[in-house]
Structure 1
Amino acid sequence: MPHATRPSTNESAFVLSALRENFRLDSRALDQYRPISLQFPSDPDVYGQTDVRIGKTRVICNVSCEVISPYPDRKFDGVFNISCELSPLIGAGVEIGRYEYQNQAELLLSRLLEKSIRRSNALDTESLCIIAGQKCFHVRADLHVLDHDGSILDACCLALVAALQHFRRPDYEVHGEQVTVFDVREREPVKLTLQHQPFCVTTSYYDAGTIMVQDATLLEEQCREGEIVMSMNRHGEVCQIAKYGGVPVDALSVLSVVKQSWEKVKMMDAVVREALSKDERDRDKGGRMKAELSAENERVMERPVG
């Protein structure tokens, strides 16, 4: 994950001393997340755009698709790609000015997201096939990190999963080898086929691995001695466990992280489901009105004359 310059010795000592007393600088519990905000576009013709905030961390995601030729070795599958971009102004002191470092941080984020979502077959790529070996949909997810105050991967994964559930691909018709793709105003677009919805939960370690903290702020991330990224779905199925260096962690600690992460994953899934339901209700206001008017017209036509 992107790191800033190391905090001062006094700052590090103060953060560690507070954690030893089960205190955090923002008064949260060690396993408590900051408020999560998820927003979708208000335009009824726009799908697949999300704006996620976890505390001061902010990520936007845009999902798009186009018709291309499939890979020669995967004639019955569509294509799904994930890219991540870090803004040069994501946080005070974060080393994003250097191109090599920025490229490395973006690559690490993209890899973790691909392992969590693409390699776990969260998106059914076979459903993106139009004509085997000739035409398929290429679904592309672009993530942009605007502000970084910790838990950047958790926010990116949540934004991506929500955007995939919100996105609608255009409908199409096939006549022989001729493919006709319809605009969203011509035909109702189609949801993507998601087999499960994985979320990422990052756990930070302090004091030689004896203290575990979830949803660490940027300052807490700068002081941590190690981290574990757990990717799970709401059914408790582990999709990925990633640990890049740091203090060693025993098996019992990993099992404890799995249990705690599952609770956070169910919380994130509930946030996404509630936001999707609200967005669907807001978009369906006109539809309900049209249905009511149509029903009223039918009643008027059925009334006996005279």
Structure 2
Amino acid sequence: MPKDASGILSEIKKGYISKKLKEGTRADQRKLDEFRTMRIEPNFIPRAQGSAFVNLGKTKVLVGVKVESGEPFPDTPNQGVLTTNVEMLPMAFPTFEPGPPNEESIEIARVVDRGIRESKMIDLEKLCVEPGKKVMIVFVDIDVLDYDGNLIDACTMGVVTALHTATYRVDEASPETKLPVRSMPVSVTMAKIDDELVCDPDVEEEQMSDARLTVTFTEDGHIRAMQKGNSGSFSMDQIKKGIDMSEVVGNKIREYIKQVI
């Protein structure tokens, strides 16, 4: 949860959320492991090389992909480059401000990027044109249009969809080809509220939580990345429960993404 979004929830609403959790449900009547209604539109920006619009509950993000040639990093001369950026637009939430990326947007970009990178979603070696001299660089830009919680998962859905549908050219004379994508990672983020884990926390649940856990799985059932957020802690049993929950829920999300692309 962005730090500047805290302190908004009333004590009455906090009490209501806690009461519902004790009853085994949530303020919006969802089950603890239930995601909000999601809608993903691939190729949302016709002129982009890859794009996707994600509507998760009231959270809305737009992802654009641009691929162009450049120089590789010195320590990976045979690999292309992936770079991910998140911008929280001021219109997305009352306390968001214009300016360079803040600490929260940088953290979201890193968590999303780590899930994509550690899953080996893109075969970066196939993006090498001339070792040590020329590779293709994949720029992923994420704009947060409306914030109502769980930006990490909404952004991951958008990035995965956009990369799966993205195309590029090595140069103007080359044919258009798809990015060398070889997996479909899905992240599931859970918030801990009163020692209960809830998937896909909305903004009010994020304000109630003291710890966040994001687990990224690929379709082969392997965990590719895990990230803890906020100052609270998790017991080993809660972590195991979160892992099990994220795999089951993540598989459902993955099937939906496959349908839309």
Fold match (TM-score > 0.5): yes
Deviation at 1:245, TM superposition (A): 4.1
CA contact 1:234–1:262 (8 Å) conserved in 2? no
Secondary structure of residue in 2 paired with 1:122: coil
Aligned-residue offset at 1:42: 6.6
How far 1:43 moved relative to its partner?
7.5
Instruction: Report the equivalent of 2:97.
Output: 97
Could you tell me which amino acid in structure 1 is paired with residue 86 of structure 2?
C
- Residues 21-60 of structure 1 aligned to structure 2 (within 5 Å): 21-41=23-43, 46-60=48-62
Displacement of 1:57 in angstroms is 0.5
What do the CA deviations read for 1:75-97 (whole angstroms, capped 9, x no partner)? 211111111110112124xx323
Deviation digits for residues 142-180 of structure 1, max 9, x if unmatched?
A: 00010111111100001001111010111x5xxxxxxx5
Q: Where in structure 2 are the equivalents of 1:101-116 lying within 5 Å? A: 103-116=102-115
- Residue 2 in structure 1 maps to residue 2 in structure 2: yes
Task: From the superposition, tell whether residues 155 and 123 of structure 1 become closer, same or farther in structure 2 (CA, over 3 Å).
Answer: same
2:254 and 2:42 map into 1 onto residues whose CA distance is 16
Distance (whole Å) between structure 1 residues aligned to residue 204 and residue 153 of structure 2: 17
What SS is found at the alignment partner of 1:33? coil
Superposed CA deviations along residues 213-235 of structure 1, whole A, max 9, x for unmatched, are: 11111111111121111111122
Counterpart in the other structure of 2:212:
227
Residues 1:202 and 2:189 are matched in the alignment: yes
- Deviation for aligned residue 1:247: 3.4
1:85 is matched with which residue? Answer: 87
Structure (1 or 2) with the larger CA radius of gyration: 1
Distance 1:42 1:244, change over 3 A: closer
Q: Is the 8 A contact 1:81 1:139 kept in 2?
A: yes
1:181 aligns with 2:181: no
Q: Provide TM-score, normalisation by structure 1.
A: 0.79
Contact 2:49 2:67 in 1 (8 A): no
Measure the CA separation in 1 of the matches of 2:145 and 2:205. Answer: 19
Give the TM-score taking structure 2 as reference length. Answer: 0.92
What are the residue-to-residue correspondences of 1:1-306 with 2, within 5 Å?
1-3=1-3, 4-6=5-7, 7-41=9-43, 46-92=48-94, 95-97=95-97, 103-170=102-169, 172=170, 180-182=171-173, 187=175, 189-207=176-194, 209=195, 211-276=196-261
Gaps of 5+ in 2: none
Q: Which amino acid aligns with 2:181?
A: L
* Structure 1 residues 240 and 41: CA distance shift in structure 2, 3 A: closer
Secondary structure at 1:28 match in 2: coil
Partner amino acid, structure 1, of 2:108: L
Residue-by-residue CA offset, 1:222-270 (whole Å, 9 max, x unaligned): 1112111111112221111111344332222211111111112111111
- How many residues are paired up? 259
SS in 1 for 2:233: coil
Paired residue type of 1:17: K
SS at 2:152 equivalent: helix
Q: In the superposition, relative to structure 1, how do residues 5 and 71 fare at CA in structure 2: closer, same or farther (>3 Å)?
A: closer
8 Å CA contact 1:203, 1:228 repeated in 2? yes
* Residue identity in the other structure for 1:105: E
Deviation per CA, 1:126-157, whole angstroms, max 9, x where unpaired?
11011112211111100001011111110000
Unpaired runs of at least 5, structure 1: 173-179, 277-306
